[in-house]
Amino acid sequence: MKITMPTIIFGEQVIECEQGENLRHVLLKAKLPLYNGIAAAIHCRGMGTCGTCAIDVEGSVSEITSVEKWRLSFPPHKSDSGLRLACQCKVLGDLKLKKHGGMWGNRTDASSRSSRNA
Ligand code: FES
């Protein structure tokens, strides 16, 4: 029996992982840039409290956790952003990921434009 492994697309990179693996661990193991700038050194190491591993996820991951929901509900995050915290997600299927700018990875092109114009 062939076991299929989820495929993860991150920018130009394509990797595979085990189903159910923690998304943060998968990305760090593959040396993909989950954290922006100084966040690479001062993040919470996967506790779900800093919010710097926020990422746009297209595809199947585990349900949002209570700590993830809590962290994504206060600034600089916005509860309606649609972002997920990689450290709280289990990979359940193929994914396409996009990391946005800013220390918390919350600056989409639209929000960067509006903050520059403010
Ligand atoms: S690593 Fe801090 S919230 Fe995910």
Ligand 1 centre from 10 Cα, in Å? 18
Q: Which of 42, 53, 61 to mutate to test the pocket of ligand 1 (most atoms within 8 A of CB)?
A: 53
Identify the residue whose tokens are 């092109």. 109
Atom number of ligand 1 nearest to Cα 46? 1
Q: Which domains does the chain have, with CATH numbers?
A: 7-117 (3.10.20.30)
3-state helix, strand, coil in the chain (%, to 5): 25, 25, 50
Angle among Cα 25, 78, 71 to the nearest 5 degrees reads 45
Give pLDDT, residue 113.
42
pLDDT per residue, tens digit, the chain (118 aa), is: 667 899 999 999 999 999 999 999 999 999 999 999 999 999 999 999 999 999 999 999 999 999 999 999 999 999 999 999 999 999 999 999 999 999 999 987 655 444 433 3
Quote the ligand 1 centre to 85 CA distance (angstroms): 6
Q: Which atom of ligand 1 is nearest to the CA of 48?
A: 3
Dihedral sign computed on CA atoms, order 103, 15, 30, 63: positive
Sheet with strand 84-85: strands edge to edge: 13-16, 7-10, 91-98, 54-61, 84-85
How many alpha carbons lie under 13 Å from residue 69 in its C-beta half-sphere? 5
